[in-house]
Amino acid sequence: MRNVWILSAIAALATTPVMAKTVDFSDDILGRVQAVQNGQARLRVFLNRTLVVERKSGTDAGNTQVNGGVNTVTQEHQLKETIKRGVLGKIVAVNDANISVDNYWHQGTCDGFHIRTVYVTFDPGCNDQACAWAFTRLHDMRQDSPQYDDGTYKVSCLLNSVSDNGLYYLAAVPQNSQYTSVELFSKKGLMKRHMNAPEINDGGVYETNTLKYSIRLQLDLTQLLEIVKQSIDHPGVGNPGPQG
């Protein structure tokens, strides 16, 4: 029965119009590769557009101060990181949701609450989420203070909606303590679009003015089919049968 389900899943992918060998990363795909031994570790993902991250120190460029006849010039330090579309990244961690999409609110602040987050690294030297890039499903989470039946106002965290497409968009970038200012851009060809930061930590994604220009995860269909196919050719992998 399990093999029939997997074969149906492959057939569904193969008949979609995205047979251009590129598909968007989703919950469904994550579930399929996690069902295969080492499937998640073997999967490689990439960005749908080039990502440019510009970091700056908090000092002002060209600021000159005169103190006792000594001129002090402070230069602004900059760091530019570029991840081009097609650069392969690996998933180093998946943090499942600690707020249910069926339970649309909880009493208290939104701090620390999130839906499932996938951490991806494009650096061979990074193997944990502390140095990885975070991606999550697009959703609308906000903090409010509704009035309760007893007339009191209490802080509550409200999850208004979650995207129907289930796609994973960039939600957080690795921190760098040397730079206090961070700006993100989505780029394709010569077109460079500024990306706005999430309003609540763990509660949103970086967005351009038009969502289709935002950064999301994609993968190669051929590789996905090869990973899923393993559970058909070797149905016992990861599921040992009776011993003896």
* pTM metric for this prediction: 0.76
Instruction: Evaluate whether residue 5 is within a structural domain.
Output: yes
Number of domains observed in the structure of the chain: 1
Q: Quote the DSSP letter at residue 211.
A: G
pLDDT tens-digit readout, 53-71 = 999 886 554 555 555 557 6
SS3 labels along 217-232: EEEEHHHHHHHHHHHH
Instruction: Evaluate whether residue 240 is within a structural domain.
Output: yes
Range of the domain at 244: 1-48+216-244
How many percent of the chain have pLDDT more than 90? 38
Q: Is residue 73 predicted with pLDDT exceeding 50?
A: yes
Q: Tell me the sheet residues that pair with 89.
A: 45
Instruction: Evaluate whether residue 40 is within a structural domain.
Output: yes
Q: Calculate the alpha carbon distances from 21 to 25, 208, 222, 235 in Å.
A: 13, 26, 6, 25
Instruction: Evaluate whether residue 12 is within a structural domain.
Output: yes
Q: Quote the DSSP letter at residue 75.
A: P
The C-alpha torsion from 139 through 91 and 81 to 198, rounded to 10°, is 10
pLDDT tens-digit readout, 14-33 = 444 444 589 999 988 999 99
pLDDT tens-digit readout, 80-107 = 999 999 899 999 999 988 777 776 777 7
Sign of CA dihedral 202, 168, 139, 12: negative
Instruction: Evaluate whether residue 206 is within a structural domain.
Output: no
The pLDDT assigned to 84 comes to: 93
Residue scoring higher pLDDT (11 or 180): 180
Instruction: Evaluate whether residue 101 is within a structural domain.
Output: no
23 touches 13 (CB < 8 A)? yes
Instruction: Evaluate whether residue 15 is within a structural domain.
Output: yes
The token pair at 180 is 């206090």
How many percent of the chain have pLDDT more than 70? 77
Instruction: Evaluate whether residue 233 is within a structural domain.
Output: yes
